[in-house]
Structure 1
C-alpha cells in the first residue's frame, strides 16, 4: 500500500477511531449511522490530505469514490440490505486511508462479517427461528476491518 505513512498520522487514526466508536454505538443502538458524523468526516479527511499530502490527494479522493461506489453498488444489488449510513461510512474510510487501503478494509469488513453472520444465519435456519439474525448492523464490522488495516500498517 503506497502512502501508508499518511494512514498512521495521528490526524487520521484518532478521528477514524472516534468516528468508528460513535458509528458502532449508534448503529447498534438505533440502526443508524448519522450524516452529521460521516459527511463532515469525509470533508475533514479530504481537506487534511489536501494539505498533508497534496501530491497524493487523488488517492484519497478515489478512496471516497471507490469505497463509497462499491458500497452503493452492493446496496443496490442487495435490495437495501446495506444502508446509506454504511455507504457513507465506507466513503469516509476511503477518504481517510485512500483507495487501495479502502479496498482492503472492504475485504476485511466482509470477511469479519461472514465469520460472525454465517454461523448466526445457519443457527437460525437450523432452529427454525427466522427472526434471529435477520438484520445485523454493519458498523461494528467496518470498525473491525478498519482496525485490522491500521494494525497491519502499524506492524509492516
Structure 2
C-alpha cells in the first residue's frame, strides 16, 4: 500500500507542477494533495478520517490560501460552509449514509476550492464512487450492503476538480451549448 501511495503522491505532485507551474497556487496544491493522500490511506485501512489529521492540516491550508487566495477574501469561508452544510444535509437525509469525517473533509475541500469547484468535486466524487462501487459489487469484491470507504472517491473527484475542473466545465458547456 505504501509504495503505491508514494507513487500516486509523486504523480499528483508532478501533475500539480505541470498545472500550476511556479505560480503561488503550487503551494496550496501540494499541501492539499498531501492531506488527501493521508486521508485516503487512513480511510482505506480504518474506515475513518481522523479529526487530528484535518486539524493538523488546517493552519497549513489557511496559510497556503493566504499566499494564493481564491477569487475573493470570503470565497474559502463560503466554500467551507457550503461543503459542511451540504454534506450534513445529505447525512441527515440518508440517516448516516455519509460519515462525519466525510462531512468535515468536504468542509476542508470547500475551503480549498470555493463553491463552484466544490460542486464539481462533489459531482466527480459521487460519479467515481458510484462507478467503483458498482464494479466492486459486480465483480464480487463488495457485498451489496457492505460499507465502502468514500474518501478515495472524494480525493479523486476533488483533485480532478482542482486540477482540471475549469477545463472540464468549459468543455461540457461548449458541447452542451453547441
CA contact (8 A) 1:42 1:96 kept: no
Q: Which residue of 2 aligns with 1:99?
A: 115
1:143 to 133, 140, 155: 155
TM-score normalised by the chain length of structure 2: 0.71
| Greater length-normalized contact order (CA 8 Å, ≥ 6 residues apart) | 1
Q: Which residue of 2 aligns with 1:41?
A: 57
Query: Gaps spanning 5+ residues in structure 1: where?
Result: none
Q: Map residues 17-96 of structure 1 onto 2, 5 A cutoff.
A: 17-50=33-66, 52-53=68-69, 56-96=72-112
CA contact (8 A) 1:105 1:146 kept: yes
- C-alpha RMSD of matched pairs (Å): 2.9
Runs (4+) of structure 1 exceeding 2 A deviation are 39-55, 118-124, 129-133, 153-156
1:66-109 deviation per Cα after TM superposition (whole angstroms, max 9, x unaligned)? 01110111111111121111111111111111111111101110
How many residues align? The count is 147
CA contact (8 A) 2:76 2:113 kept: yes
